[in-house]
Chain A
Amino acid sequence: MAKQRLHCKEVIRLIDSHAGELDREVTEHIKSCPSCARAAEAAGVLRNALDAATNNDIGDATPFDRIRSRTEAAVNARKENIMEKVKNQVGTRPRLIAGLGLAIVVFLFITLVPFSYTITVGYEVAFTNIENFEQIPAERVINAVKTLGYDKARIKVFPGQMTIGNLPSYLAAKEVSAAVRTVTGIEAVPEIVPIRQTVSGSLYAQVMDKMKIEVSTEGKTDAEIAEEIRQKLIANGFDEADVKVTSEGDEKKIDVSVSRSGAEGEQETESRIELKLIDEGSDISFDAPQPAERLEIDAEGKTNEEIKAEIEAKLAAEGKEGAKVEVTTNADGQRQIKVEFEKEDKK
């Protein structure tokens, strides 16, 4: 039976493959097998239909010139119809057109219509009620600020007051504050005031101006991530930042509590903070100053006083306050530098 079915399949394959005359064995099989006989009959009907179609009269070909002129006329008609099609679309789809119009209006509103808002453009360190104002070595203050790399800082001195402005970040203001207190011996804690500027810009520009903090989480513990965020918040002008990072499964939860002193000592809260954790890719560079192992000073062409001021400023910038620096020149013409700390013994 199985042999018979296999044989039927083979016969039908031969019928379908259109191999011309079927051999005697196949013809014998078709005579004895009703299903193969029906298949052969159907194949015959199909063959006849295809042959008839080949010989079917399909009419004379259209003259080439007529086809050409008709096609070219259709091309021109189609060109004219494009504007009508647009008009029809507008007429038949009023909601779609209204939606598109609204979207365009919203887009233009977001990108073009200006609003006024304030941004922090820099920081200013303000010393007030300075005692012995006349004795402040202005030269050393300028040197200290320049040594820290803030060449664009503006120093203004009034009776009993001194302001150092045009500092790029809160961290820079803190550095300058510490350095100036060291070189001048001013004990009063200065105020660090953010310089706000009212600007005009679109909603899009406002969103782009907001503070952005990006932290890479790759290979870091929660504590390390929290510390990095805290550092970056301080660098962005916050006095205090309390950051807690906790892991819940694959997700990380971040609690941030920040505060910043206002111009007159009042608490001012920064409301626009965007925290972004990056799982992969490069770490975001953070330009916080790192404690230096060595102090390098270019002494060429400088007086001992200038060298002293530079060392003091650099030490102050590293947070090593209360250092006593002595620069002397011996008989051989060599300079001797002695640095003493009041709290720590480091040379």
Chain B
Amino acid sequence: MDKEQFWTLLEPVHAQAEAYCRRLTGCRDDGDDLYQESLLTAMRKFGTIREMSSFRSWLFRIIVNSFKNRNKQPWWRRRTEMAPESIEVESGGDPRGQLDSTRWLERAMAALSAEDRAMIVLFEIEGYPVAELASIFGKPEGTIKARLFRARNKMRERIERYLSKTETKNSASEAEYGEAKIALQRSNPADR
């Protein structure tokens, strides 16, 4: 393995790759760990790369695989998705005011598999074209487009579920407040 060649090829894509890792994990420290782990794998597998011109796609594929491996849970630790009824929503006020965009994105991303998450971050946030995603994920462009559509659909549905839950809670709180007010009025001797 030519170590120097590896570092020469990495230098121009280093900033993009590191940024992608940070965005993918949603945290700077976790992102840096993922990047380091991916670089170690990339150095070990550098001898297997076929075309040096596709170094960036190859490196990003390694990052995606490392991210997928990190998210792999053994069956006894795997969690099932919660039913919409059991999703806890902070009560009171407009959630759009309380939850900043990062939290909304986290919740939406939770509906996706690790690979779909990696795809959405690359396309929607990093702005990579579908053709490059096809090269990174080793799938036809049509498949990438369909998967992006399905992923967006899942994310939108997850947000919608939170929104409807919040509305129900808010209206229930308003009704409870109304009933309590009436009861208070009835119990007040001055009103009789």
Is B163's CB within 8 Å of the partner chain A? yes
Contacting residues of chain A (77-127) with chain B, CB-CB under 8 angstroms? 78
B90-116 CB contact bits vs A (8 Å, 1 = yes)? Answer: 000000100011101100100000000
Bound complex: CA of A61 vs CA of B28, how far in Å? 10
Contacting residues of chain B (120-137) with chain A, CB-CB under 8 angstroms? 124-125, 127
Shortest distance from the beta carbon of B167 to any chain A beta carbon, whole Å: 8
Interface residues contributed by chain B, number (CB under 8 Å):
37
Q: Enumerate chain A residues within 8 angstroms of B124, measured Cβ to Cβ.
A: 50, 53-54
Bound complex: CA of A167 vs CA of B104, how far in Å? 92
Is B149's CB within 8 Å of the partner chain A? yes
Is B22's CB within 8 Å of the partner chain A? yes
Contact A75/B40 with A16-B153, A58-B23, A61-B18 known, Cβ cut-off 8 Å: yes
Q: Enumerate chain A residues within 8 angstroms of B22, measured Cβ to Cβ.
A: 58-59
Shortest distance from the beta carbon of A70 to any chain B beta carbon, whole Å: 7
Pairwise interchain contact A61-B149, C-beta atoms closer than 8 A = no
Contacting residues of chain A (148-167) with chain B, CB-CB under 8 angstroms? none
Q: Enumerate chain A residues within 8 angstroms of B10, measured Cβ to Cβ.
A: 64
Interface residues of A: mostly helix, strand, loop or mixed? helix
Bound complex: CA of A297 vs CA of B31, how far in Å? 92
Pairwise interchain contact A39-B105, C-beta atoms closer than 8 A = no
- Which residues of A approach B to under 8 Å, CB–CB? 15-18, 38-39, 41-43, 45-46, 48-54, 56, 58-59, 61-62, 64, 67-68, 70-71, 74-75, 78
**A46-B105, A58-B19 given. 19 additional CB < 8 A pairs?**
A15-B156, A16-B153, A17-B149, A42-B156, A42-B157, A45-B159, A46-B152, A48-B101, A49-B104, A49-B108, A50-B124, A52-B101, A52-B102, A53-B23, A53-B101, A61-B18, A62-B18, A62-B32, A70-B36
